[in-house]
Each structure stands twice: as structure tokens, then as C-alpha cells.
Amino acid sequence: MRKSPAVHAEGRIRPVESSAMKILRVLAAGCLAAPLIASAVTEVPVPADAASAPPVSLSARKVYEQARSQLLQIRTVLKGRASQTSVGSGFVVSKEGHIITNFHVVSEVALEPANHDLVYVTADGREAKLDILMLDVLHDLALVKPAAPAKGEASPKEAPAWDALSFRPQKQALAQGERMYSLGNPLDVGFAVIEGNYNGLVERSFYPQIFFSGALSAGMSGGPALDQEGRVIGVNVARRVDGEQVSFLVPANFATALLERGRSAPPMKGTAHAEMTRQLMEHQQVLTDRFIEQGWKSATHPRYRVPVPPDRFMRCWGASHQSRTGGLDYEDSQCVMDTRIFVGQYTTGAISLRHQSYDGTKLGTMRFAARHAASFRNENFRRLGGEHMTKPQCHENFITHDKLPMRAVVCMRAYKKLPQLYDVAVLVATLDQSQAGVQGRFDAQGVSFPNAMRLTQAYLDAYGMLKQ
């Protein structure tokens, strides 16, 4: 299929992450952690006032001073070398020293514990190692805690009590426009507070996210967002790269739930792939059920029934392309999810669809057939993170559904370190007209084999002829 930049939505959201620059480019939901690479700062320009913004009001200054002792920088360092590979932020949430941050901030340690260590640095420069206790991959959260003394090291007679931030009670709902204060360590230049506003929850997000009108920067991932009384109402997680002061927070209730589940948990041992797989299996089941249950829009093409989902947790765009030289005319439609699950060096757990309607009456039958076939062959099944997956296995067939003859190709490939999870892609081309037709594509990432088959069947069954 032809690919029109007018309908491509990927790359618009970037997490506030702490991993390397290539990860920031991969994520469609922009992480805000800061890579420790000199070129990273120039690759994603950040206005000077956003990178190290000082408090802009007395309220912001008060909030920052009250929370300064609970605010931490979270560093990933190479094991045995003390060279940091990425930085993010975190904050203390219990007297025992439990700390909340983002999963993508600690992902290198969670996925490659033999090569990395995790440390925290306080605002006054104290530093110590951290253990990962529990992960919430679906909401990009992690619960960590200062590591116990190693063998041979003296243990304190009495563990010190930590000064912890409190959470705003859920019954106290946030009001549209309410002031918020996001804290973190942007671009590893120092601790800062960013003042902004609450603008409700993000529309059409699969999981709830807060729309924060503040200029979050790389390195602030995992930092807290506070109300005017210094209570936690969210966790920094992402920003839009195609807009100004459009940022996103994980609602605080997911952080409190993670704290309660993991308060007494022992440190994680080994890699987190098994735990990630368990959570992704839950996600793909909910995603598949919701996607199939929502059905399809009507009146999507004058001749065919063409699958286009409702705008519930997906965003759809369209565009028309008229040839100026008497060639092929076509229209685009594309639907994508903003929500994608970060799993290391790539994302998964999303569904996307697109189709193109072709009109080749200006070309004639033979030229249209050649262009139509070439467009179908133009498709491929490569995507970022492909080195972590097996080669695709494809099956092609000619089918008829609801009196509409079609050519269909179904391709699947498996995740190497996330067993039971697959990517599936479905290509369709209508064959009932000699000078016009539709080509469609459906992609689901990170689904089980049974759900891949359910989604494929639902997509193919959505095509058909309209009664003329």
C-alpha cells in the first residue's frame, strides 16, 4: 500500500524516559528519561526555559522546598564500572524507604540485571544502591527500595525513617485547570519544579492518563506531580513532541495500588521477562475483548463494508489524493492507538488498521492491475524491535466473504523472550473490479495465538459487499 505522511500518527508522543536516545526514537509514547549521550540533547531540542525551569510562583517554590527531601534521581549504571547509562527520577512514598518511579527508568536493570545496577541520588548528593521490588508494566510504574547491606557490610542498628510524600485522597477529585507541580531532574542538570495545569484525562487512551499542560523534559520520568498542598496526584511519564506543553502523567491511584501490592515483596531476582509476559497476557486479553466487542463504523465506503473501528481508544484520520497527471486516485484511512506498552527497546500491546480506496479509471484495466498488484507487494512486516522476534510465517489465500472476492495474507511471528505472545498482520485486497478496489491492513502486537486468530477472523468478516 502507499503510505501517506498525512495519516501517519506514530512518533508523536515521547515518554519522559531514562534510557538511550534510540529508545526515545522507538517509543511512540515519548519517555522522559534522559540518556547520557552528548548527541541526545541536540537530537530532541528542548527550550532552555523548559530544561531547567525555575519555580515560577511562590506556590511552586513552597511545594518544591517541602518535597525536596523526598525527591530522588534514579540512575542506571554499568555493573562494576559506575558509569551511568541513563537517568530518571523517583520519589519516596513510605517511611520504610519505598520509592515509586517509571518502569522504563529501571528497565535496563530489570531486563539485564547481570550488566546493570540501580542507584539513587538525593538532592543533597547522597547515593546508594536500589533493589526492584515490583513492576506495573502496563502503567509504566516500578516500586524500588534501597538495597540491604551486602555480605561483609555493617548493618545499621536501627533503620532510619524516611520522609515520605503523601498521596491525595481519591475522593478529592481534581478540578479542570487546577494547578499542578511536576518535580524531577530534567536532562541531568539538577532538580527542578515545573508548574502547569490539570486538564482532565486523555481522551481515547486505553489506560487512564492525566493531561498535564506543563513542559516535561527527558530525565523527569518517574518524578511526582503534586497539588498545591504537596500531595501526589500523578507520576511523570510522557510528552508530545509535536506540541508545546502537552505532557502526560500516570494517575496516582495506580502508584498507591503498586505500593500496597509490593510493600512486603522481596527484591526481584533474575530478569523481568516472565513477569512482563504475565502482565502482557492480561493486557492482550482485555484489548482483544474490547476491540471485538466495540464493532465497526458504518458507511465507510460507497461499495463495500470496510472495517473502521469507532473512536473509543483509537484515533482515525483520512486523506484524499487526486492524481494531477491522469494517474491513480486514492483515499487513505488509518486508525492507531496512542497507548503502547514499553517492554525494553521497543513497544507492543497495540492494534492499528489502515485501508486505501483506489480509483484507476483514468489508467485503464491493465495499468490499474499492475499498479494495484505492486501496491500490495509493497507491504512488509518489519518493525522496530524486530531483532527480538522470530521471522514472520505467512499464509496466502483467495477467499469470498459476503459475495466479495478477496486476496488475503496472514503473517505471524513470535517474541523470543516473551513466550506465548505474537505479532499478527493481515493484508486484504478486493478483487471484484477491474479498475478500482480497496486494500486493507490490520496489525495486532503482543497477542496470544488464539486471540490472533480471533482478531484475524473478526477483521476478515468485516469486509463485504453493500446492497446496491
- Report which of 192, 224, 218, 181 is spatially closest to residue 91, judged by C-alpha positions: 224
pLDDT of residue 433: 94
pLDDT of residue 374: 86
Task: Read off the pLDDT of residues 308-355 as tens digits, 9 standing for 90 and up.
Answer: 999 999 999 999 999 888 888 999 999 999 999 999 989 999 999 999
| Domain final position from 270, 299, 331 | 270
| Domain final position from 270, 304, 335 | 270
The pTM assigned to this predicted structure is 0.86
E strand map for 20-70: 34-35
pLDDT of residue 119: 95
All residues at 6 or more sequence positions from 343 whose CB lies less than 8 Å from its CB, including other chains: 137, 276, 280, 418, 446
Looking up residue 373, the CATH number of its domain turns out to be 3.40.1000
Residues 416, 425: Cα–Cα separation, whole Å: 18
pLDDT of residue 16: 55
pLDDT of residue 34: 60
pLDDT of residue 177: 94
430 with 348, same domain: the answer is yes
- pLDDT tens digit at each of 468 positions of the chain: 654 433 333 334 556 544 333 333 333 345 566 655 333 322 333 333 444 444 346 688 889 889 989 999 999 999 887 788 899 999 999 999 999 999 999 999 999 999 999 999 998 888 999 999 999 999 999 999 999 876 666 555 556 678 999 999 999 999 999 999 999 999 888 898 999 999 999 999 999 999 999 989 888 999 999 999 999 999 999 988 887 889 999 999 999 999 999 999 999 999 999 999 999 999 999 999 999 999 999 999 999 999 999 999 999 999 999 988 888 899 999 999 999 999 998 999 999 999 999 999 999 999 999 988 888 888 888 776 778 999 999 999 999 999 999 999 999 999 999 999 999 999 999 999 999 999 999 999 999 999 999 999 999 999 999 976
E strand map for 202-291: 210-212, 224-226, 232-240, 247-251
84 with 193, same domain: the answer is yes
242 with 302, same domain: the answer is no
pLDDT of residue 21: 35
Looking up residue 126, the CATH number of its domain turns out to be 2.40.10.120
| Domain final position from 270, 301, 334 | 270
Residues 264, 36: Cα–Cα separation, whole Å: 33
- Report which of 274, 119, 87, 257 is spatially closest to residue 189, judged by C-alpha positions: 87
User: What's the total number of domains in the chain?
Assistant: 2
254 with 304, same domain: the answer is no
Residues 323, 308: Cα–Cα separation, whole Å: 25
251 with 315, same domain: the answer is no
Cα 172–chain centre separation: 28
Which range marks the domain in which residue 137 is found? 1-270
Residue with cell 465497526: 296
